[in-house]
Amino acid sequence: MSQSPPLAGLRVLELARILAGPWIGQLLADLGADVVKVESPEGDDTRSWGPPFVEGVDGENLSAAYFHSCNRGKRSITADFRTEEGRALVRKLAGHADIVVENFKVGGLEKYGLDAASLRKLHPSLIYCSITGFGQDGPYAERAGYDFLIQGMAGPMSVTGSPDGQPIKAGYATADIFTGLYATVGLLAALRRRDATGEGATLDLALMDTQVAVLGNQALNYLVSGKVPGRLGNAHPNIVPYEVFPVADGHIVIATGNDGQYRRLCDVLGRPDLGGHPDYADNKMRVANRAVLVPMLGSLTSRRHKLELLAGLEQAGVPAGPINAIDEVFADPQVVARGVRVELPAPAAAAGTIPTVASPIVIDGVRQVANRPSPRLGEHKDEILNDPVWSGRHG
């Protein structure tokens, strides 16, 4: 028997653009929420962040791949906040929403009467989520926040890259995406509280806060020891061997997590003596002596071919794997078997579908992913305005 999506009936008004805010809306849409995306007449900035662009049946531009990465499952309507008509439309929609998500600068919506205080005064049960670079208070509150900037300011770049090279940012937008995920958790918690109390909530999510929070063990390494972590390339600050190793035809990752796995690695490499050597017998000693041990292990792995060595490590129960390019990721049999790539029906697209990367959430065997692609700009204006739920004519 088919089940309704877990968030069916939840209404979300998204006043957000770029990535962190839209990531929230997409995830909630994947889980079944009705997400109405309010765009300026010019549209979300990322519609033009290409190439590549999705091509329409007549060769027209159906927005950049970037836009499609974080806007599936939504309906689009346009509103110009500079006009009373546009502001009235947003206030009307907010009156029928459970959640409002926005990522304007601090105070950016206050002048339009669309900020949390204004809308919650009209609708006390509303849950309002603001995404900013630095939060609603503090000395940096007025600054604009960008993912790259935050990766630098919040610490990740200081521990990413080679010791003798430049600090390196992650190859994808970690601050934006993690903020979207944390905000979604916060929204679900606020909904749970509202179920019990009837109270709405105002959420204040900052890219800076989030990026500091996900420093994880690196933050605690510093807070406990007082020693500032540095860049270790692909090495791990707390585990050895746990990094990239050369092979005769490229590189692989070896990620031993305990002493038994380390000893089995040494057996596969034909050096059981290293497994029992007192300088490397436990992780504490291996971390202390990594400068000697890791090059020795690298000289052994470099004599082996990737597939042969990986097969041997898998048979021995040693965690290891290839370093896949993106095309290899989507060809990987595990990724294929799990249905991570999804083709969403899109009659307006030249291919008839638009590809997407599904949510990783699987509930009762069902992968949670919206069943329609990102909307065209203003595509659902009439549909939304005539929707009895959003128009107030429901019931």
Give the DSSP per-residue string, 133-177: SS-SSSTTTTS---HHHHHHHTSGGGGSS-TTS-----SS-HHHH
DSSP per residue, 247-301: ETTEEEEEE--SHHHHHHHHHHTT-HHHHH-TTTSSHHHHHHTHHHHHHHHHHHH
The pLDDT of residue 46 = 97
Domains of the chain and any CATH numbers: 11-214+334-386 (3.40.50.10540), 242-324 (3.30.1540.10)
Mean pLDDT within 90-100: 97
Per-residue pLDDT at 395 exceeds 50:
no
Per-residue pLDDT at 393 exceeds 70:
no
Question: Does residue 176 carry a catalytic annotation?
Answer: yes
Q: Write out the two tokens for 329.
A: 């990721």
Report how far residue 232's alpha carbon sits from residue 252's, in angstroms, rounded to the nearest whole number.
Answer: 17
Q: How confident is the model at residue 138 (pLDDT cuts 50, 70, 90)?
A: very high
Mean pLDDT within 231-240: 95
Q: Are strands 127-132 and 201-206 parallel, antiparallel or unpaired?
A: parallel
Q: Write out the two tokens for 19.
A: 């990535």
Report how far residue 346's alpha carbon sits from residue 356's, in angstroms, rounded to the nearest whole number.
Answer: 12
Share of the chain above pLDDT 70, in %: 99
Q: Could you read off the pLDDT of 26-81 as tens digits, one per residue?
A: 999 999 999 999 999 999 999 999 999 999 999 999 999 999 999 999 999 999 99
Q: Using CA of residue 255, residue 258, residue 264, residue 269, what is the dihedral sign? A: positive
The pLDDT of residue 70 = 98
Angle at 170 between CA 165 and CA 174, to 5 degrees: 150
Catalytic residue among 147, 176, 209, 387: 176
Q: How confident is the model at residue 394 (pLDDT cuts 50, 70, 90)?
A: low
Half-sphere exposure of 116 (CA within 13 A, CB side): 19
The pLDDT of residue 99 = 98
Q: Could you read off the pLDDT of 249-262 as tens digits, one per residue?
A: 999 999 999 999 99
Q: What is the pTM of this model?
A: 0.94
Per-residue pLDDT at 1 exceeds 60:
no
The pLDDT of residue 2 = 65
